[in-house]
């Protein structure tokens, strides 16, 4: 007999932050709606009642595993200190926009990317790849961002003029990944 709770826990772990809808869970586990709700609730109770690091939450129709508050508090310093590792495609995209358009505001970056970038800006600031350049003299006085010397060192650039032309990036979408050494 299949252990649907174990399978659900594994699926939620694999999909990470994206989570799964009730419909996706039902399809993956081949369950009807009532069985799906029961499995979700059983796993939720099991994680809450045992001394486990994770809990099952459901927000906006998406179910996902998250760490309990006690774990988060202990783990927080690891994320604040982490400054190494490969850059994600989202980080590279945000970084490229800043490099080409600097000084640039968060709103301008979001208009170009089409998605929010507040978290990405925090990560790039923590890695010291971007810095605040001041504030725009307009309503709300938004922060202006620019790349740092660390960015220049990482990408082995003497000046921003050495960046590939914007047209080259659109001709070969892997240009940014080649620059980052991936």
Q: What is the CATH number of the domain that holds 163?
A: 1.10.10.10
Provide the pLDDT for residue 99. Answer: 93
Q: Is residue 169 part of a domain?
A: yes
Supply the range of the domain harboring residue 58. Answer: 4-71
Where in the chain does DSSP place strands (E)? 20-21, 54-59, 62-67, 104-105, 130-135, 143-147
Those residues with Cβ within 8 angstroms of residue 118's Cβ, 6 or more apart along the chain or in another chain? 106
Per-residue pLDDT, averaged over 108-130, amounts to 90
Domain match, 47 and 117 both = no
Residues 161 and 97 in one domain: yes
The pLDDT of residue 45 is above 50 = yes
Distance, in Å, from the CA atom of 14 to the CA atom of 52, rounded to the nearest integer, reads 18
Q: How many domains does the chain have?
A: 2
pLDDT recorded at residue 181: 44
pLDDT band at 79 (very low <50, low <70, confident <90, very high): low
**Token digits for 105?**
């505001």
* pTM above threshold 0.75: no
How far apart are alpha carbons 163 and 158 in whole angstroms?
A: 10
| 142 has a pLDDT exceeding 80 | yes
Helix (H, G, I), strand (E, B) or coil at 97: helix
Q: Assess whether 8 and 60 both reside in one domain.
A: yes
Residue 162 lies in a domain: yes
Q: Please say if the pLDDT value at position 33 is more than 50.
A: yes
Residues 103 and 161 in one domain: yes
CB atoms within 10 A of CB 125: 14
Longest dimension (CA), the chain: 66
């Amino acid at each position: 007999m299949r252990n649907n709770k174990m399978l659900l826990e594994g699926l939620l772990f694999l999909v990470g932050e994206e989570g799964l809808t009730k419909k996706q869970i039902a399809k993956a586990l081949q369950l009807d709606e009532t069985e799906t709700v029961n499995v979700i609730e059983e796993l939720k109770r099991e994680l809450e009642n045992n001394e486990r690091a994770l809990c099952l939450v459901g927000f906006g129709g998406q179910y996902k595993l998250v760490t309990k508050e006690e774990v988060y508090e202990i783990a927080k310093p690891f994320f604040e200190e982490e400054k190494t590792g490969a850059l994600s495609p989202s980080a590279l995209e945000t970084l490229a926009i800043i490099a080409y358009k600097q000084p640039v505001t968060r709103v301008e970056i979001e208009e170009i990317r089409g998605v929010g970038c507040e978290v990405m800006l925090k990560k790039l600031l923590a890695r010291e790849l971007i810095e605040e350049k001041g504030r725009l003299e307009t309503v709300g006085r938004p922060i202006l961002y620019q790349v740092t010397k660390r960015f220049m060192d990482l990408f082995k650039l003497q000046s921003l003029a050495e960046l590939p032309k914007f047209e080259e990036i659109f001709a070969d979408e892997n240009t940014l990944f080649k620059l980052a050494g991936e």
